[in-house]
Amino acid sequence: MKNELFHSFIKEQKLYRIFSQIAKYVSIVFLIIYLYLLFSSSYTASPLIVVINYLAILTSFSGIITFKYYEIPSILLAVFTEGELSPFFQLNSEERQFVWRKAGREDLLPQDPTPDYISNHLHLYDRYPWKKIGKIYAVIYLVVILSSIFYLTSVYIETGFQN
């Protein structure tokens, strides 16, 4: 059971790295398309440039949401709602310290921390619900990105990006 908990934490950290990489690559693709449209002389005032700009800004903003979503590992967030029954307290002290450092804490975690200690030091009592915000944002982001890609593709098929 303890090993499964730590593996779920490691899996969450891998997802954070994957989503960060995906956002970086999507931003690069939008940058390339933007530069192509920018330097094609007939499209300097095109709505396509505006769409690409907004997509690039939205994707950059996604990095902030992704960071906040994974800033504090779920296993530590559970301490606020579950207290002593949280999976965090089933980990050994070395694993606890590793999870604690992933939450951005450089200080040493006490040998037997209390839920109040963790909640107070991570300010969990006044934290926005970033897990919920992140999921809502992901749905909105996918809808905007997919509809924009559909629009850009249809314009490209119709005009080849030329007037």
pLDDT tens digits along 84-129: 888 889 888 888 888 888 888 878 888 888 999 988 888 888 888 9
Q: Are 56 and 31 in contact (CB under 8 A)?
A: yes
C-alpha pair distances (Å), 77 with each of 24, 107, 148? 27, 18, 35
Residue bearing tokens 């933007």: 34
Spatial CB neighbours of 63, under 8 Å, sequence gap ≥ 6: 20, 23, 24
39 φ/ψ angles, rounded to the nearest 5 degrees: -90, -5
- Give the amino acid at 7: H
The larger pLDDT score, comparing residue 91 to residue 36, is at 91
Look up the pTM and report it.
Answer: 0.68
- Give the amino acid at 103: A
Q: Are 45 and 130 in contact (CB under 8 A)?
A: no
Residue bearing tokens 């619900």: 129
pLDDT in tens, 121-150: 888 888 889 999 999 999 999 999 999 989
- Give the amino acid at 158: E
- Give the amino acid at 159: T
For residues 57 and 51, give the distance between their C-alpha atoms in angstroms, rounded to a whole number.
10
